[in-house]
Amino acid sequence: MRIYMQTPIMDDKPPRFYQLHLQEDLLAGWSVIREWGSQGAAGRVKRNHYESREEAERAMLMIRDAQVNRGYRVMFMRGEGSET
């Protein structure tokens, strides 16, 4: 599952992005990988581990909702269980 979000384009600043990936790891768990920053520049990355896919999906959707409340717009969502 992947979610890509972006802030509205401003006249004097490049838009900011926030990207979420859900990925199965090799230790029978799941990771939510977050990447964020300004368009055209290197971003920051953070990875959180979860025991189950359901727990990771819930966390991912909570992160998405928090970023939407901060002004990001969901540009696209892809993957199993995507809510558009």
Model confidence, pTM: 0.85
Q: Does position 83 have pLDDT exceeding 60, yes or no?
A: no
Give residue-wise pLDDT tens across range 52-68: 999 999 999 999 999 99
What residue numbers bound the domain in which 30 lies?
A: 2-78
Largest CA distance in the chain: 46
**Residue 62 forms part of a structural domain:** yes
**Residue 47 forms part of a structural domain:** yes
**Residue 45 forms part of a structural domain:** yes
**Residue 24 forms part of a structural domain:** yes
Give residue-wise pLDDT tens across range 2-45: 999 999 888 888 899 999 999 998 888 999 999 999 988 889 99
Nearest Cα neighbor of 61 from 22, 23, 25 is 22
Query: Are the CB atoms for 3 and 68 separated by under 8 Å?
Result: no
Domain CATH number, residue 21: 2.20.140.10
Q: How far apart are the C-alpha atoms of 70 and 84, rounded to whole Å?
A: 18
Query: For residue 84, what pLDDT is reported?
Result: 45
**Residue 83 forms part of a structural domain:** no
**Residue 84 forms part of a structural domain:** no
Which amino acid, one-letter code, is at 7?
A: T
**Residue 74 forms part of a structural domain:** yes
With cut-offs at 50, 70 and 90, classify the pLDDT of residue 73. very high
Helical (H) or strand (E) element with 68: helix 53-69
Domains in the chain: how many in total?
1
